[in-house]
Amino acid sequence: CTLGQDLMESLYFVTRVKPHDVLGIVSRFSLGLLYTIAHSYLYFTRIIVLNAAINSTSSALLSMLLSNNFSELKSSVFKRFAEQNLFQIACSDIVERFELFVFIALTALQSSDNWSEFLYGSATAVCLCEITVDWIKHMFITRFNNLDCKVYNYF
């Protein structure tokens, strides 16, 4: 996401500072367009994988949840973080939960024939697993970095 923000800021800067630099504007616009298309395809792939895992009869959903959440825990638990980094982690968790909510809503719309089974079964399991893993992650981060839990009150 940072690359996309940098590309869009670069395009904005060129159009504001050098509005007659057509080559610079076209090249940055093309890069921004390619990035946006690639980013959209990745999100679409994530929705397809979540949909397939939720609608499968095997244990694909459990495997996907375990692998994603294990890698999230492994990548952040035993690292040193300052209080400012904790705010960034909390913000990224909020974005991740919003994306998960949108993905689950889109999957629910697609499988509208069995809403109650979907909402009380798979969607609840995915949300509870994500909340539990985020809670454990923040617990380990605050414990490992000797941070007081009151640091969350500042943001």
Mean pLDDT of 35-50: 90
* pLDDT classification of 138: cutoffs 50, 70, 90: confident
Which residues are within 8 A (CB) of 58 and not within 5 positions of it... i.e. 6 or more apart?
Answer: none
> What's the mean pLDDT in 56-80?
78
Cβ proximity of 61 and 126 under 8 Å? yes
Among the ranges given (8-22, 27-41, 97-111), the one the predictor scored with the smallest mean pLDDT: 97-111
